[in-house]
Structure 1
Amino acid sequence: MKLGVALLQALKDRGAGEVFGIPGDFALPFFRCIEESGVLPLFTFSHEPSVGFAADAAVRLRGGLGVAAVTYGAGALNLVNPVAQAYAEKTPLVVISGAPGRGEVASGLLLHHQAKALDSQMRVFREITCDQGVLDDPATAPEIIARVLRSCAEYARPVYLELPRDQVDAPVGPVPLLPPSPFDPEAVAACAEEILARLAAAQRPVLLPGVEVRRLGLESPVAELARRLGVPVATTFLGRGLMVDQETPRLGTYLGLAGEAGVREAVEGADLVLMLGIITSDTNFGVSGRRLAPGATVHALDREVRVGHHVYRDLPLPALVEALLDRAGARPAPAVPAPRELPGDLVEDDAPVAPEDIVRGLNDRFRASGPLPVAADMGDCLFSALDLRETDLVAPGYYASMGFGVPAGLGMQAATGRRPIVLVGDGAFQMTGWELGHARRHGLDPIVVLFNNRAWGMLEAFQPGGRFNELEDWHYADLAGPLGGDGYRIRTRAELGRALRRAWETRGRFQLLDVHLEAGAVSPALRRFVSAVQRLTQAPAAC
């Protein structure tokens, strides 16, 4: 088998469903291989950050591995930001970069796209990936591929493979399927028993599942564990949408001082918090009213489990969950408060649109036709999503890069076939919204709701009054037609309701709802978050 085909087949065997990419001269032989082999479908976009965001979102929704293929230097270095986000938020993303061939390397000349040295790119990616390899020798390439892809799946973090263009057609042996990395089953058993002993002694335990639960395919077993242990479940800002299809005793979304009082009291007042695969970031816990004491927590992340002050190293989360299920006895279901009433029943009149009106309109559509998966960019569109009916939500809640939403929605539909809702601000849309021009070619038709306040609204909420946060109105709805979609310029709640119904009914073309918001209009969730941050931190001083 040729090396390029062997790599594609190994990706498919390990759960990859497609390749997102942009061709370049050092990557052209591999792109030819992708197209001619037909092992995985190829989706191309206009700019490498969008490739990374789409591949990231695809695997967040579908599971398996995401794949981003680019050229050397100018292509791969454009991927650094989305790969850094995937590393921070634990997404198993495989970066494949074309590279110069042996003859070019031996020429002694500086090569185009080269930054400092030929291996500068590799050194950059070492900082934001958990494993790396250069496929410049057909004899060693299969073992390198096998090792790197195993690391990607087991650690749920990005990896990097460099494929010289003169090696794509080199004959290679089969890529072996490596067994899981070894761990000590006695340590797993001891850890599970210690956790269950602490749970048995706890009066007010709470389970917080995190992103690793989805990345490692553990939503069903963790939901079963919650039911069997009789422990209420709360999600976090980053984990919103986890286990949405699983029946569990749910408390809601924990957002510290910015969230619901009942959820905050349950989490911060718990005498044991079981955190499975959760990233303890500032957005998840930075606005908490009370810090969680280490002695009252169990934290499993990155193959390490901390039970109070005890640490179990090199212990995979799937093995721990399995051990807990094997040993857990049935406990009565906990009492949880009734779920809060979510906004709905949009009033369709001539009043201007506020962010909560967008939420009401979407919830009305979800109630009438069933929920759709949501891709949210960073900003008030993400905080507004916290008031949507429970559905699959993909968003950069920790790393918080702008520009994620539109390519994420395209990646989600390419990977699953499910039509997504994309929530995006006008600042983020200016970065990557033009990727909608590829939707028709790839058979994608997302519904894009653009929060247009002619500003970087979330930044304005934290630092009001600066002209540096202002943006022009680019009349986005007028651009939808030339890009292959339908656009709606919306200023009133009546126009919003009509546009949502029309967008839901129209298939085959993307729908862009350019919703104009009044200056300073923000969602209740963002208002609470800003207030909580300002209470807990010193506000920035003027120069």
Structure 2
Amino acid sequence: MKVESQYTVGKYLIRRLQQVGVNHVFGVPGDYVLSFFSMLEKSEIDLVCTCNELNAGYAADAYSRVNGIGAVCVTYGVGGFSLLNAVVGAYAERVPMIVISGAPRLAERRHHHLLHHTFGDMDLQSRIYEQATVYSAVLSNPASAGRQIDEAITACLRSRRPVYIEIPMDIVNLACPPARDISIDRTIHSDAGSLAEAVEEAAAMMDSAKKPAILAGVEVHRLGIRDELRKFITHAGIPFATSLLGKSVISERHPLFTGIYGGAASWESARRTVLDADILLSLGVLMTDIELGGRRSIQDQSRMILANSDNVRIKHHIYNHVSLQDFINRLGRKISRRKITPPGISYPYGKPDRKINLDGSGPITVNGFYTRINRFIGRENMLTADSGDSLLSAANLFLPEDVMFINQSFYLSIGYAVPATLGMCLAMPGKRPIAFVGDGAFQTTAQELSTIIKLNLNPVIFVSNNQGYLTERLLNEDGLFNDVNVWKYHKLADVFSGGIGLQVKTNSELEDALAGIKSNPDSAFIVELVFDKWDCSENLKLLKESL
């Protein structure tokens, strides 16, 4: 790059990825993207090749949740469409992900040649991705490619949602103006008048409340305003719960924390806090059916203040162009301070510092396992759980300080957790991820354990072997369609030539497994937990009743 003509479109994109903090790109090679892959491999960014495109998307999604932004790169058609489900999930859950796809040469596109990986319509993939991202660009002119890349990355960071960049294979090495240092304004700006009115109305309601409560959600994490919310809660002296998707957004060791609220599937202390409140201040919560624990609303919305990333709703009033960050900061200065009175917590698995006695020769149970694991998790860990009873069980864990919990409780795509574990390992190498996944979900993306072992990573993956789709068995009916072939999950460590595989059937075997995990901190573990076919969490039973 001694002369500007040697600065290419591909190098421009790589430079921008580095500037915004993308240190790893996940993907699968294919001929339409090989030139760009070669550039990535020569750059300071680590190219992480996964077993398939869907897994690459899940890994990039989790990486983004931990790192603040991530990227995935695939070939055209077969790669782009295989990836799509993960991108839709990222869009639904406000995850900033840069999607890069190679594409056929421009000349071939213009003449509508019938090329492999396509069916003739060269614009189909970009049109589809327009619906699943906040910005979609096809880089067809090197003179304008830099501007399009900058617009895409800016949109990704501001909206906290995926963007799509399509780079034809004959554009990658074309010269373009060099990438200058830029400062991207990630702030959601507020309308001064709307902000002032929203704060005035909300403060009046909060100050007149006898039993106010706060429900915190995932947008607080996505917007990077966890410190602001923590200071607000401490200043206000108001008890709070978090939603399932927002679990760990504020430390669960905060004296005003009351638990996870999920409607019927709530910690009892959180349920009382939320439902007994005369004013509920909802901050960054996505009001989904699972967040509410079924299809039932939390309460009369006339007693709620709903603040999300860029708007506030109070009774019948909607204040648009009000950023959540500005609203929290201004409201904190406006409301009266209350005396901090710890509300008390109903620990679903008992207080973690309290010893438990499990029958060593007895079979493991779902409740017994999570009760024990709640005393095993430390500040050195971060957690993820797959959709289904693994997620509902893990929701009841009382987390130590600084332990992050990654989950996909809105989109609920089974198979997320194993490739997500890969992304988590690389985004924060100082932490050891622990993943909880059911056997049905595990079988959809199990091959990514191979990549984890290849990279010498050290997560712990607990697979619940209950012979199939337990959630569907309970929520609908028990049919053959809910059964899966029973694998020897612990033997996969041998299949993939690395890591340590263990099978656990009794409580004493569980203790031996946990001791092994502690004594081998640098090894990946896959631990097969053999449960009874119908054994499940209390949360799943409660959720069934509420649906």
Taking the aligned partners of 1:243 and 1:403, their CA distance within structure 2 comes to: 26
Identical counterparts, % of pairs = 31
- C-alpha contact 2:288 2:410 (8 A) present in aligned 1: yes
> Comparing 404-413 with 518-527, which one deviates more in the overlay?
518-527
* Distance 1:187-1:471 versus aligned 2 partners, 3 A rule: same
Taking the aligned partners of 2:203 and 2:151, their CA distance within structure 1 comes to: 34
Aligned to 2:63: 58
Correspondence for 1:23 among 29, 42, 45: 29
Taking the aligned partners of 1:512 and 1:346, their CA distance within structure 2 comes to: 25
Aligned to 1:146: 150
Aligned to 2:471: 458
- What's the offset of the Cα at 1:525? 1.8
- C-alpha contact 1:23 1:31 (8 A) present in aligned 2: yes
Instruction: Note if 1:389 corresponds to 2:402.
Output: no
* Distance 1:468-1:108 versus aligned 2 partners, 3 A rule: closer
Deviations along 1:499-518, one digit per CA (max 9) or x if unpaired, are 12102221333111111111
> Comparing 419-428 with 356-365, which one deviates more in the overlay?
356-365
Instruction: Note if 1:5 corresponds to 2:19.
Output: no
Instruction: Note if 1:473 corresponds to 2:473.
Output: no
Taking the aligned partners of 1:181 and 1:200, their CA distance within structure 2 comes to: 27
- What's the offset of the Cα at 1:290? 5.6
* Distance 1:10-1:356 versus aligned 2 partners, 3 A rule: same
Correspondence for 1:363 among 374, 377, 382: 374
- What's the offset of the Cα at 1:246? 7.1
How many positions carry a matched residue from both structures?
Answer: 529
Instruction: Note if 1:398 corresponds to 2:413.
Output: no
* Distance 1:293-1:151 versus aligned 2 partners, 3 A rule: farther
Taking the aligned partners of 1:480 and 1:363, their CA distance within structure 2 comes to: 25
SS at structure 2 position matched to 1:239 = coil
Deviations along 1:79-121, one digit per CA (max 9) or x if unpaired, are 1111111111111111111111212213431121114611111
Aligned to 1:527: 541
SS at structure 2 position matched to 1:75 = helix
Q: Which amino acid aligns with 1:28?
A: L
Instruction: Note if 1:118 corresponds to 2:130.
Output: no
Aligned to 1:239: 246
SS at structure 2 position matched to 1:273 = strand
* Distance 1:192-1:17 versus aligned 2 partners, 3 A rule: farther
Deviations along 1:47-77, one digit per CA (max 9) or x if unpaired, are 1111111111112123x21111111110011
- C-alpha contact 2:9 2:142 (8 A) present in aligned 1: yes
SS at structure 1 position matched to 2:142 = coil
Q: Which amino acid aligns with 1:416?
A: M
Instruction: Note if 1:47 corresponds to 2:61.
Output: no
* Distance 1:291-1:322 versus aligned 2 partners, 3 A rule: closer
- What's the offset of the Cα at 1:531? 2.2
- What's the offset of the Cα at 1:178? 4.6
* Distance 1:257-1:338 versus aligned 2 partners, 3 A rule: closer
* Distance 1:531-1:406 versus aligned 2 partners, 3 A rule: same
SS at structure 1 position matched to 2:398 = coil
TM-score (norm 1): 0.92
- What's the offset of the Cα at 1:189? 2.9
Flag structure 2 segments of 5+ consecutive residues without an equivalent: 1-6
- What's the offset of the Cα at 1:405? 0.8
- C-alpha contact 1:58 1:66 (8 A) present in aligned 2: yes
Correspondence for 2:420 among 395, 399, 408: 408
Instruction: Note if 1:349 corresponds to 2:363.
Output: no
Aligned to 1:425: 438
Instruction: Note if 1:209 corresponds to 2:220.
Output: no
- What's the offset of the Cα at 1:532? 2.4
Deviations along 1:271-301, one digit per CA (max 9) or x if unpaired, are 2221121100000115376643232222222
Aligned to 2:276: 269
* Distance 1:319-1:134 versus aligned 2 partners, 3 A rule: farther
- What's the offset of the Cα at 1:15? 3.2
- C-alpha contact 2:499 2:526 (8 A) present in aligned 1: yes
Flag structure 1 segments of 5+ consecutive residues without an equivalent: 534-543
Deviations along 1:341-384, one digit per CA (max 9) or x if unpaired, are 63463525221111112212312322xx5461111111111111
Taking the aligned partners of 1:156 and 1:201, their CA distance within structure 2 comes to: 35
Aligned to 2:3: none
- What's the offset of the Cα at 1:402? 0.3
Correspondence for 1:287 among 290, 294, 319: 294
Measured on the aligned residues, the alpha-carbon RMSD in Å equals: 2.0
- What's the offset of the Cα at 1:245? 6.8
> Comparing 427-436 with 163-172, which one deviates more in the overlay?
163-172
Instruction: Note if 1:373 corresponds to 2:382.
Output: yes
TM-score (norm 2): 0.92
Taking the aligned partners of 1:31 and 1:358, their CA distance within structure 2 comes to: 43
Instruction: Note if 1:92 corresponds to 2:106.
Output: no
Taking the aligned partners of 2:357 and 2:450, their CA distance within structure 1 comes to: 31
Deviations along 1:386-440, one digit per CA (max 9) or x if unpaired, are 2223132111111111001111111101110011001111111111112111123
Taking the aligned partners of 1:246 and 1:123, their CA distance within structure 2 comes to: 46
Taking the aligned partners of 2:253 and 2:197, their CA distance within structure 1 comes to: 28
Aligned to 2:529: 515
- C-alpha contact 2:269 2:346 (8 A) present in aligned 1: no
Aligned to 1:536: none
Q: Which amino acid aligns with 2:489?
A: Y
Q: Which amino acid aligns with 1:85?
A: G
